[in-house]
A = this chain, B = another copy of it.
């Protein structure tokens, strides 16, 4: 019923995560009504995506294809003896925005979730163990998400790391009340953690 080229845009955009047919229709019609420049911009950027972005072979952060290593690893300003472990590359971005961390990163590539087929061997765990040895790492900060999968991954990492490197310091991000959340709405686990880890004023 719709022109084939429009249907193709709707179908293609509908393959994005969380974009249903209604949103895809809205995007497609918006693009049709807007300047062709906008569609061209998106098309060009997508064509370049896989060509110009790759994973850093050491930290698995996303980097420009022409770079060899992530600048957050290779820069002399970064302390290689501290490694912050995250699930996904974009988590790095969130932490870098705090401007409060000067160590390096390691991207696991997800969290353990047997139901989704993500077993420990699918994550970059051996590469992390190798790094600890090679870079003489002194502290590993585990920053997996506070979800069931993130917690299991953190526990596994802690076990593997402490077995292999008994002197290594393994920490994780603090649990507590986030900014702007009313105490009456916070869940029990968060409140328990906030109580337990209370800080001196």
Chain A contact surface mostly: helix
Distance in angstroms from A10 CB to nearest chain B CB is: 9
**A26→B5 CA distance, assembly (Å):** 25
Asked whether, in the complex, the Cβ of B49 is within 8 Å of the Cβ of A6, the reply is yes
Interface size on A, residues (CB 8 A): 52
Q: How many copies of this chain does the complex contain? A: 2
Complex partner residue of A31 from B11, B29, B31, B49, CB under 8 angstroms: B49
Whether A191 sits at the interface, judged by CB under 8 Å, is no
Asked whether, in the complex, the Cβ of B17 is within 8 Å of the Cβ of A30, the reply is yes
Residues of A within 8 A of B (CB): 1-6, 8-9, 11-13, 15-19, 23, 25-32, 36, 38-53, 62-65, 88-90, 92-93, 96
Q: Could you list some 10 contacts between A and B, CB below 8 A?
A: A2-B93, A3-B52, A8-B48, A12-B38, A12-B44, A13-B45, A31-B46, A39-B46, A42-B42, A43-B46
